[in-house]
Structure 1
Amino acid sequence: MKFYKITFFLLLLLAPITLLAQEVQLVILDKDTRETLPGATLQAENLETQVSNNNGLISFIPAQNYFVKVSHVAYESQSFQLRPGMTREVLLERKSTALGEVVVSAFETDRPLLEQGAAISRVSEADLYRFNERSIVQAFNTKPGIRVEERAPASYRISIRGSALRSPFGVRNVKVYWNDMPFTFPDGTTPLNLLDLSNIQNSEIIKGPAGSIYGAGNGGVINLQSLQQPNQNKISSELGFGDFGMLRYRFAVDQRTENGGISASYVHQQSDGYRDHSAVDRKVFQLGGHFSPSAKQTISTNILYSDLNYQIPGALTEGQLLENPQMARPGSVEQNSSIAQKSLYAGVTHSYQILENLENVTSAYVQTSEFENPFILDYKRELQHSYGGRTKFVFQDQLGSVGLRLIAGGEYQYGKTAAQNFGNRDGVADTVRFADDLITTQGFLFQQAEFELPSDLILTLAFSENFSRYDINRSIDAQTGVPSGAERRFDPVIIPRIAVVKRIGNNAAVHASVSSGFSPPTIAEVRTNEGSINLDLDAERGVNYEAGYRAGWWQGRVNLDASLFYFRLDQTITSFTNEQGVVLFRNAGATDQRGIEALLDYTLVQNPNAFLSNLKFTHAFTGHYFEFRNYESGGNDFSGNKLTGVAPNSLVNQFDLTTSLGFYLNLTHHFVDEIPLNDGNTVFQEAYNLVSARLGWRKTFINRWDLEVYAGGENLLDESYSLGNDLNAFAGRYYQPAPGRNYFGGLKVGFRY
């Protein structure tokens, strides 16, 4: 501290001489402690990156005025206009995970997490990159109430509070947005496996019904964001590798422009897979732009092309699992059970500040996809086209002592699919069995009012009006020889939500909410692979009651986020498998879903100038005590049984360590309780413990080069488990074995120009 004071005093004395030489002298400081910060970077377009020395000093001679950005890994960035001859202090605020400072955009409101009246989890960029970077699975599974399953590489299934019961494969009953645009298709399915990890920078997950603002669905909402506006000119490349032939490489370019920036990336990932017939090959190209035509408006564009191929090994019986967990289900190899999908997705988002207190944000997208799926029992081909959009108006004002924020808007999606089902003869499409033109339409209007009341109360009243329809026009039916048609319309359904938040001082708050959910069956559940059309399948309806507590202590170094909920669901949709192995669906009466979810994190060390610069622990607990309330099927009464596919308890423990030399260590332990695999609760997946680790080193050289090297291991205890079982499987084919102990590594290089 004494040296800093002397240095700054000398800078003031030398200011006249400095001005003559047009030299810039900046001292970078911690805003709270006033300690100098070495390793801070100063960046601007067409300017060589500058780095503060051991005394926090940046000194150079600029050729002109620049709009600069000063950054440090442990601090919030700061931007300002820099002039030749400038001498000043730059005070940086320490980054914090305090709940009162972490801003989320859930329910279309940018508020601190502390002020949100719902159960929300954030998956940050740091969360995504503390594991093997081949998928999102492990990062999302560190959050309470969320489970991402991977029955085979690139074959995802997402469960938010047990919502995967009706999803034997794929992502259903969960609404997904990517860069503020709908990424869930009009038919209710989400091809999340088309995205690479690098296409996601941050994620927000709303748990439970969110229909008041995001339309139909009981399983929650996932908002994904990629890099929107590059803050520097940079070329980067990555190389990752691992067991089972895993290889992933990526190239990316970020280019700033006069009023925005452009980013482009290409990534290719492939692997042979742990099991026989489980290889995957995925190529993803993304081009994004962000522009500000004027001070009042911004435009963001995104183009995503994905070419995905992966093999499906199939589920095993217990005997086959014990004999050889790496084997494929008999018939999978011979029939070339696999999926090939090429998809092009393009969208644009426009934001306009109409008045000082009135803003509009509108997004639109178009999408086309070719899908081919040879399976043991049949061979499916689909050509899909869809488009849609979303718009919202946000009005804010102060009415005396009451703050008011009104949000109103709508969303519309239309999709058309030409679907053909053939016989499968040794992996080749045989005679056509049936061919359908599938048309799906869904939309909703939403309104929301937020009142900031005296006594630190925030009241939210919201509702939406939802409608949906699908039409099935069968042009070929080999069984009957007669074309036919079917349609299903769901009358407009109003979904309300009420929430209240009460702040307790600056660092704590309680929240409570009641929200309604409505989830119609997807067209894949009505029209099944053997050709039947089940128009009697009803929509799920539910009501969620929730209360929670959030608090932070020790300047945001200790944070707790906990919630209790009770979700009463009627007309629950469940899956079952007939004697031919075809997955079918039915309404299963009602379920009671009670749960507790809690996340606790505490940072013991946070000092960027010390050798041990950061030391953090995180614990996440999920208690899901779900059961069938009223469910009879096939002469069996399953009432009172545990809900199929849901683990009652799970616990995640994380340890993160960072040093000033650039070394870091991430350790993760994940316990999952036993999981019932059928409605009768006669077959269970045994409880298991997963341990993973990642050790790495990252550093910046010569002010321009960024380098990172890492290595790690997964399932270090070599547990035998399935990361996604088949539920209510016929002939006992429940198990999809996951890899045992395996290792990975990688290298990242970036150059700023």
Structure 2
Amino acid sequence: MKSLSVGIVSLVLTLSLGFAQSSLTFIDKNTGMPIAGVVVKIPSQQNQVSDEEGQVNIQVSKSIFISYSHVAYESGGVQIEENENRTIFLVPITRPLGEVLVTGFESERPLVHQAGAISKVLEYELYRFNENSILSAFNTKPGVRIEQRAPASYRISIRGSSLRSPFGVRNVKVYWNDIPFTSPDGTTAINILDLSNVQNSEIIKGPGGSIYGAGNGGVISFESRRQVTENYFSIDYGLGDFGLNRYRIGIDQQIGNGGVSASYVHQQSDGYREHSAMDRKVFQLALHSNPNENQSLSTQILYSDLDYQIPGALNAAQVEDNRRQARPGSVGQNSSIKQKTLYGTLSHELKFHQKWNNKTALYLNTTEFENPFILDYKRETAFSYGGRTKFTYDAIWGKFPVKIIAGGEYQYGKTLAQNFGNRQGKADTIRFSDDLITTQAFLFQQFEIEWTSKLLMTLGFSENFSRYDIDRQIDAGPGNPTFNSRTFDPIIIPRVAMVYKLNDISGIHGSISSGFSPPTIAEVRTNEGSINLDLQAERGTNYEIGYRGSYGIFNLDLTAFYFQLKETITSFTNDQGVVLFRNAGATDQKGIEAQIDYAIYRNQLSQVQEIKLSHGYTGHFFQFSEYSSGGADFSGNQLTGVAPNTLVNLLDVRTKPGFYLNLTHQYVDEIPLNDANTVFQEAYNLIGSKLGWRTVLGGRWDFEVYGGVDNLLDETYSLGNDLNAFAVRFYQPAPGRNWYGGAKLGFRY
């Protein structure tokens, strides 16, 4: 018996001597405070939790990979050696507004120090919904609405800016990784992007022309993953109602101080309505390097092959009879869009002095576009290039910290655009053919000064130049081929803004900004062949005041604005059903936008770790102030296509075993569908839910499975109506109650 006891003690000592102790300390990256309750998962050992000092001691006999997670911080993993003492800095997920950094107006500051209505859409918010598009996440932000007339047919409205967009994205400037993604002609094909091509987004609501050029609606800045932090392979698969299938394969590989990442995504669906199928393939390759501590270099290639059908709008009787039917003629004429796009970028950032740095980005883009429609058949081959450069100077003038930002942007686009007749979905006799050239450029300057530790002032302006040439090579109509050119006078766009920091957690901001938006070539050169050179650029002035604050678990963001727009561009249809455009006097746009979010419960050590609520309200009280057309006076009418009131409520629950639940409610007020305000879409409520489970297996494998339901109430509504529609075909019915699900698997190697 004595020899047995000695043997057991000897064995325990032998095993213990075979292990070395390593120490981990978890620190909040923003505050520098230790983090208690971090769950550390160690291969073949019991999970451990960091103490009040943020520390965990683990026994290791060799180099191992451990993963860590916390309900309030971004998860991750790290390789640990024997006898290593490692400090790990964690980035909060839900942070006070004073800790949320945004780069709006080219000035990286905490959100409470930004003078402007800026919303941030984080990666976890994008994946909170069905992962087939960015639509649902963006529609939770006050003042923002993405509409979908058919799968992959999007329209973006920021503060009612889609009035002139019967289809496509106009009047909103879009960037991808700080590079112009909006074409030189003012349109943006966001439908070529998959959700996986976006990690985080920022939205500037209202004119951003002082530093971003044309566009009264605002600015959207998409950002894909910039840095490769680990070697990682992942595969995702999703499916759902109406034949939805989506799979993604991705790989990240560290190389020296940088890395390479690649992904391929294929998404297809049959669509809710007849003739609404979609097929999209997207490949992205990114290379990142840091030659030294003062430089970074990135290059990306994006290829998108998109093919989707257009079911067309219905009138009220057709919706009542069968909301899933296509517009008569859409199937026979194969109304659809095929678009192949190759987009290449190069970005370089250099800090060449303690006070100076420069960031320059260039891009090339080619697109093949084919669009059979009920009335015609359109083909386009486009090529464009451009870039943006920015210099930043930080210094102290006297006792005042200042920042000077100066730079420029240039874009050139050339398109061969041909319109044919459509004979049962095939291109028939050519009607007209144009060579289109668009050039736009602007210079921007911005001066920031901190008058006191609490008061920050910003002065900025841009000088804008734009021109387009329409060289008609073929005209099968009664006219002769002609050359048409339009050069817009140089436009100065100013902005003045101030922020007063009440304390470390709250502030008041106000601004006055100007904006302009010239007509796009698609609005000047219409599908029936006419060229409207009389269409004027929109001009507007925006007055804005807001308050932001964080109070423990509460974040509050409140903005009130008044936007006056002149030479408003609106759409209408002629007797043949062709969409045309005109300047419609002036509009008055008064609004309130508010968002509050708070964690009503948070405890990393309990079974239910977090319960979080968020509420967003949009009050857009817009009207035509001066608008007469065809003998009718629409002055005083509500602005077409804008819901006066929108409310969003979110509930998120996360648990210790890894289960999570997301609930979403959205109320949309009735929407006027024509300028006369005689037709409205009825108000509706949408409720959706998503339930999932995520875990880390063996320290290296990430696994997640999820499922959800959209439109639980089976509401009848349109997510993208046709405004001022021909033959009263206003409605593009959205799906009724539908389900989706999927699984994800990732491996660190």
When the two structures are superposed, what TM-score results if normalisation uses the length of structure 1? 0.93
Counterpart of 1:632 in structure 2: which amino acid? S
Could you say which residue in structure 1 is the equivalent of 2:238?
240
Alpha-carbon deviations, 1:617-663, whole Å to 9, x = none? 00000000000000000000000000000000000000000001100
> What secondary structure, in the 3-state scheme, does the structure 2 residue paired with 1:388 have?
strand
Distance of aligned partners of 1:517 and 1:710 in 2 relative to their CA distance in 1, 3 Å threshold: same
Distance in 1, matches of 2:77 and 2:735, equals 47
Could you say which residue in structure 2 is the equivalent of 1:542?
540
> What secondary structure, in the 3-state scheme, does the structure 1 residue paired with 2:351 have?
strand
Distance in 2, matches of 1:474 and 1:608, equals 67
Q: What is the CA-CA distance between 1:60 and the residue it aligns to? A: 2.4
Q: Which moved more, 1:87-96 or 1:718-727?
A: 87-96
Distance of aligned partners of 1:120 and 1:35 in 2 relative to their CA distance in 1, 3 Å threshold: closer
Number of residue pairs aligned between Structure 1 and Structure 2? 728
Could you say which residue in structure 1 is the equivalent of 2:724?
728
Could you say which residue in structure 2 is the equivalent of 1:633?
629
Q: Is the 8 A contact 1:50 1:58 kept in 2?
A: no
Distance of aligned partners of 1:83 and 1:748 in 2 relative to their CA distance in 1, 3 Å threshold: closer
Q: Which moved more, 1:167-176 or 1:96-105?
A: 96-105
Equivalent residue for 1:219, pick from 207, 217, 220: 217
Matched, 1:380 2:381: no
Q: Is the 8 A contact 1:29 1:37 kept in 2?
A: no
Distance in 2, matches of 1:732 and 1:578, equals 13
Q: Is the 8 A contact 2:41 2:48 kept in 1?
A: no
Counterpart of 1:694 in structure 2: which amino acid? K
1:303-322 to 2 correspondences below 5 Å: 303-322=301-320
Matched, 1:259 2:260: no
Distance in 1, matches of 2:88 and 2:100, equals 23
Alpha-carbon deviations, 1:366-401, whole Å to 9, x = none? 000000000000000000000000000000012233
Could you say which residue in structure 2 is the equivalent of 1:6?
none
1:292-441 to 2 correspondences below 5 Å: 292-441=290-439
Q: What is the CA-CA distance between 1:72 and the residue it aligns to? A: 4.3
Counterpart of 2:258 in structure 1: which amino acid? G
Alpha-carbon deviations, 1:50-71, whole Å to 9, x = none? 996246433325569x9x9976
Matched, 1:164 2:162: yes
Could you say which residue in structure 1 is the equivalent of 2:596?
600
Counterpart of 2:743 in structure 1: which amino acid? L
Q: What is the CA-CA distance between 1:89 and the residue it aligns to? A: 6.8
Counterpart of 1:731 in structure 2: which amino acid? A
Distance in 2, matches of 1:705 and 1:355, equals 43
What CA RMSD, in Å, does the superposition of the two structures yield over aligned residues? 2.3
Could you say which residue in structure 1 is the equivalent of 2:139?
141
Could you say which residue in structure 1 is the equivalent of 2:190?
192
Distance of aligned partners of 1:430 and 1:549 in 2 relative to their CA distance in 1, 3 Å threshold: same
Could you say which residue in structure 1 is the equivalent of 2:5?
none
> What secondary structure, in the 3-state scheme, does the structure 1 residue paired with 2:530 have?
coil
Could you say which residue in structure 1 is the equivalent of 2:696?
700
Alpha-carbon deviations, 1:550-590, whole Å to 9, x = none? 01101xx2010000000000000000011101000000000
Counterpart of 1:611 in structure 2: which amino acid? Q
Counterpart of 1:58 in structure 2: which amino acid? I
Q: Which moved more, 1:622-631 or 1:392-401?
A: 392-401
Q: Is the 8 A contact 1:448 1:461 kept in 2?
A: yes
Could you say which residue in structure 2 is the equivalent of 1:450?
448
Could you say which residue in structure 1 is the equivalent of 2:587?
591
Q: What is the CA-CA distance between 1:127 and the residue it aligns to? A: 1.1
Matched, 1:750 2:725: no
> What secondary structure, in the 3-state scheme, does the structure 2 residue paired with 1:176 have?
strand
Counterpart of 2:371 in structure 1: which amino acid? N
Distance of aligned partners of 1:237 and 1:93 in 2 relative to their CA distance in 1, 3 Å threshold: closer
Q: Which moved more, 1:474-483 or 1:373-382?
A: 474-483
Distance in 2, matches of 1:88 and 1:375, equals 62
Distance in 2, matches of 1:234 and 1:460, equals 42
> What secondary structure, in the 3-state scheme, does the structure 2 residue paired with 1:490 have?
strand
Counterpart of 1:53 in structure 2: which amino acid? Q
Distance of aligned partners of 1:687 and 1:457 in 2 relative to their CA distance in 1, 3 Å threshold: same
Counterpart of 1:721 in structure 2: which amino acid? Y
Distance of aligned partners of 1:490 and 1:365 in 2 relative to their CA distance in 1, 3 Å threshold: same
Could you say which residue in structure 2 is the equivalent of 1:58?
58
1:67-106 to 2 correspondences below 5 Å: 72=70, 74-75=72-73, 84-87=82-85, 95-106=93-104
Could you say which residue in structure 2 is the equivalent of 1:483?
481
> What secondary structure, in the 3-state scheme, does the structure 2 residue paired with 1:122 have?
strand
Q: What is the CA-CA distance between 1:74 and the residue it aligns to? A: 2.7
> What secondary structure, in the 3-state scheme, does the structure 2 residue paired with 1:298 have?
strand
Distance of aligned partners of 1:110 and 1:77 in 2 relative to their CA distance in 1, 3 Å threshold: farther
Q: What is the CA-CA distance between 1:259 and the residue it aligns to? A: 1.2
Counterpart of 1:37 in structure 2: which amino acid? G
Counterpart of 1:586 in structure 2: which amino acid? R
Equivalent residue for 2:266, pick from 249, 265, 268: 268
> What secondary structure, in the 3-state scheme, does the structure 2 residue paired with 1:550 have?
strand
> What secondary structure, in the 3-state scheme, does the structure 2 residue paired with 1:504 have?
strand
**Ranges in structure 1 where 5+ consecutive residues have no aligned partner:** 1-13, 43-47
Q: What is the CA-CA distance between 1:97 and the residue it aligns to? A: 2.0
Distance in 1, matches of 2:278 and 2:79, equals 49
Distance in 1, matches of 2:319 and 2:654, equals 41
> What secondary structure, in the 3-state scheme, does the structure 2 residue paired with 1:320 have?
helix
> What secondary structure, in the 3-state scheme, does the structure 2 residue paired with 1:100 have?
helix
Distance in 2, matches of 1:310 and 1:640, equals 39
Distance in 2, matches of 1:173 and 1:156, equals 14
Q: What is the CA-CA distance between 1:90 and the residue it aligns to? A: 5.8
Q: What is the CA-CA distance between 1:607 and the residue it aligns to? A: 2.0
Q: Is the 8 A contact 2:60 2:82 kept in 1?
A: no
Q: What is the CA-CA distance between 1:136 and the residue it aligns to? A: 1.1
Could you say which residue in structure 2 is the equivalent of 1:37?
37
Q: What is the CA-CA distance between 1:730 and the residue it aligns to? A: 1.2
Counterpart of 2:48 in structure 1: which amino acid? N
Alpha-carbon deviations, 1:664-707, whole Å to 9, x = none? 00000000000000000000000000000000000001001000
1:107-186 to 2 correspondences below 5 Å: 107-186=105-184
Q: What is the CA-CA distance between 1:23 and the residue it aligns to? A: 4.7
Alpha-carbon deviations, 1:76-96, whole Å to 9, x = none? 689999775334676757554
Distance in 1, matches of 2:423 and 2:724, equals 27
Alpha-carbon deviations, 1:156-183, whole Å to 9, x = none? 0000000000000000000000011000
> What secondary structure, in the 3-state scheme, does the structure 2 residue paired with 1:503 have?
strand
Q: Which moved more, 1:563-572 or 1:82-91?
A: 82-91
Matched, 1:662 2:658: yes
> What secondary structure, in the 3-state scheme, does the structure 1 residue paired with 2:558 have?
strand
Equivalent residue for 1:642, pick from 618, 634, 638: 638
Distance in 1, matches of 2:715 and 2:674, equals 22
Q: Is the 8 A contact 2:347 2:362 kept in 1?
A: yes
Counterpart of 1:479 in structure 2: which amino acid? G
Alpha-carbon deviations, 1:696-751, whole Å to 9, x = none? 00000100100000000000000000001000011100000000000000000001
Could you say which residue in structure 1 is the equivalent of 2:616?
620
Distance of aligned partners of 1:406 and 1:80 in 2 relative to their CA distance in 1, 3 Å threshold: farther
Distance of aligned partners of 1:712 and 1:266 in 2 relative to their CA distance in 1, 3 Å threshold: same
Distance of aligned partners of 1:344 and 1:661 in 2 relative to their CA distance in 1, 3 Å threshold: same
Question: Percent identity between the aligned chains?
Answer: 62
**Ranges in structure 2 where 5+ consecutive residues have no aligned partner:** 1-12, 51-55
Alpha-carbon deviations, 1:297-341, whole Å to 9, x = none? 001111100000000000001111101000000000000000000
Q: Is the 8 A contact 1:24 1:62 kept in 2?
A: no
> What secondary structure, in the 3-state scheme, does the structure 2 residue paired with 1:464 have?
strand
Distance of aligned partners of 1:34 and 1:567 in 2 relative to their CA distance in 1, 3 Å threshold: closer
Alpha-carbon deviations, 1:586-627, whole Å to 9, x = none? 000000000000001111122222211111000000000000
Alpha-carbon deviations, 1:87-130, whole Å to 9, x = none? 46767575542100000111111101000000001111111111
Could you say which residue in structure 1 is the equivalent of 2:227?
229
> What secondary structure, in the 3-state scheme, does the structure 2 residue paired with 1:321 have?
helix
Distance in 2, matches of 1:386 and 1:466, equals 19
Distance in 2, matches of 1:176 and 1:586, equals 24
Counterpart of 1:185 in structure 2: which amino acid? S
Counterpart of 1:579 in structure 2: which amino acid? D
Distance in 2, matches of 1:76 and 1:430, equals 56
